[in-house]
Amino acid sequence: MFTGIIEEVGRIVNAGTRLRVDCSLVMTDATPGCSIAVNGVCLTALDPSPQGFSADLAPETLRRTNLGDLVPGSLVNLERPLAARGRLSGHIVQGHVDDTGTVESFEALGDDNWWLRVRIPAELDRYVVHRGSICLDGISLTVAAIEDGLASVTIIPHTVAHTNLSARRPGDRINIETDILAKHLEKLTAVAMPR
């Protein structure tokens, strides 16, 4: 389990079905086979070293996420899983991306604050609510507005400075993980309600 609080921005060295990520902070306690979220996707770390790690990407991962769009030099958000003794600073994030959305705009609001608008797939719309949590490229964010398939979030200066969002442009695909509690509630409600 993750929290959506990004620990480090890494840089892609090799892309494709076997990624190589250049990073250091998330490697301090990494062991072969440990989990590391890359742009919100839970991956198995291979060949960990103080300089980074590799990870194999399955066809489903390449299809459902933006990891297949990465090229050498791309910046990625990194997070280690939550330790049992840790604080849940963001929200419950599994690292199981539902789909990708498209960055519509990333507009300055002043004082280094930003307004990010993302077009979300229609099938995810029912899980995105005003003032609810959403995970975009692994970042725990609060939905500030949802209208006509566009989810908007306010991005504070700290988040811009410590994630890959400053490199995002309109048209970029961005990973979306909706709130797991909403998905479970939907299924439980469907079972409880006879048709």
Residues annotated as catalytic are 2, 35, 42, 44, 58, 96, 142
Any residues with CB less than 8 A from the CB of 190 and at least 6 apart, and which? Answer: none
Report the candidate in 166, 161, 174, 152 with the shortest Cα–Cα distance to residue 67.
174
Report the candidate in 151, 4, 13, 126 with the shortest Cα–Cα distance to residue 72.
13
Q: What's the CA gap between 4 and 130, in Å, rounded?
A: 18
Return the ∠ at Cα 101 (arms to 122 and 24), rounded to 5°.
145
